[in-house]
Amino acid sequence: MKILVTGASGQLGNTFKSLVENKQVEDLNFVFKSSQELDITDFEAVRQELLSDNYAYCINCAGYTNVDQAETEKDLAYKVNVTGSRNLALNCNESKTVLVHISTDFVFDGFLNTPYVEEDIARPIGFYGDTKYKGERAIINNLEEHFIIRTSWLYSEFGHNFMKTMVRLGNEKDELSVVYDQIGTPTYALDLALVVLHIIKAHSIDYGVYHYSNEGVASWYDFAKAIFEIHKIPVELSPILSEAYPTPAERPKFSVLDKSKIKNAFHLDIPHWRDSLKVALAKEALIK
């Protein structure tokens, strides 16, 4: 079974690469394309790649993910997250390729106080979330055979993410302040990658939108505190309100995802975020 991975130089793409390198998916044939090697905003390039080989699946890890910068780089964010998604959907439809697309909790406004289910109305409050939601719609409107997986607070030992930033800052500073009034769930990229592979290996035709994150909930402050405790970094950490740390883009205050649908459909046993964080920090230390 041949699988195309777009955006292969990002943290999720690198996670899939690590699984291949560690011979954990020997029964699958992966082709990795970075954004430089395959620009998903280029319709004809995507078409040629998908028609050039018999890809059973395309895992789209490509995306514009800089939440704050998206407020000023609107054309680029739209081009990658909306036009790119549409290009993939249209060409996957022609090549009979199943598309697995990664989306985000930022499609929601954060005004609920119960975990979001897939059917809840998407009301993004930032431009990044808006482009991700429009990208979802572009896929749904142009390709039946798709899995859209919304995830949250993705981190890993690869790329740029909150975990790696906190480890770096914790080693550089004696004191740090982190917001405690934004609630969600940290998600380890390895766990997400394994779920994607589980869906592929199941040859499922239960297409549609799914929510996936690790189990449990946390504030960014809780997440940072756990990083410092597990990694034994002696930094004095203070909780602050979001208004004390203004950013160009507004974030949802509550974006916990209900995972009942994906757990029931694929019989998943999902790890708690703290347990997965221990694994990620151990691997991050090995890389160093």
Q: Is 139 within 8 Å of 88 (Cβ atoms)?
A: yes
CA 98-88-258 angle, 5° bins:
65
Which tokens belong to 153? 């607070």
Indicate whether 40 belongs to any domain. Answer: yes
Mean pLDDT of 175-179: 97
In a domain, 176, yes or no: no
Lookup: tokens for 152: 């949250």
What percent of the chain shows pLDDT beyond 70? 99
Number of other CB atoms surrounding residue 116 within 10 Å: 23
**Is residue 63 classed as helix, strand or coil in its secondary structure?**
coil
Task: State pLDDT tens for residues 216-252.
Answer: 999 999 999 999 999 999 999 999 999 998 999 999 9
Position 241 in a domain: no
pLDDT value at residue 243 = 93
**According to DSSP H, which parts of the chain are helical?**
11-21, 43-52, 74-78, 84-95, 127-142, 162-172, 189-201, 220-231, 260-266, 273-287
What is the domain count for the chain?
1
- Model confidence, pTM: 0.96
**Domain presence at residue 237:** no
171, part of any domain: no
Closest among 178, 183, 78 to 131, alpha carbons compared: 78
pLDDT number for residue 118: 98
- pLDDT score at 27: 85
Mean pLDDT, to the nearest integer, of 63-88? Answer: 97
Q: In whole numbers, what is the pLDDT of the chain averaged over residues? A: 96
Determine phi and psi for 252, rounding to 5 degrees: -65, 135
CA distance 41 to 274: 37
**pLDDT reading at 288 higher than 60:** no
| Catalytic member of 64, 128, 180, 210 | 128
* Catalytic residue status for 133: no
Q: Examine residue 277 and state whether it is found in any structural domain, yes or no.
A: no
Question: What is d(CA 251, CA 159) in angstroms, rounded to the nearest whole number?
Answer: 21
Measured CA to CA, the distance from residue 165 to residue 233 in angstroms comes to 13
How would DSSP label each residue in 87-116?
HHHHHHHHHT-EEEEEEEGGGS-S--SSPB
What CA–CA distance (Å, rounded) separates 3 from 30?
Answer: 5
pLDDT at site 75: 98
Chain position carrying tokens 């449990």: 216
Please provide residue 107's backbone torsions phi and psi, each rounded to the nearest 5 degrees.
-75, -10
Task: Examine residue 75 and state whether it is found in any structural domain, yes or no.
Answer: yes
Q: Assess if residue 129 is contained within a domain.
A: yes
| CATH code for position 7 | 3.40.50.720
Site of tokens 């909150």: 162
Domain assignment of residue 134, given as a range: 2-161+186-216+255-271
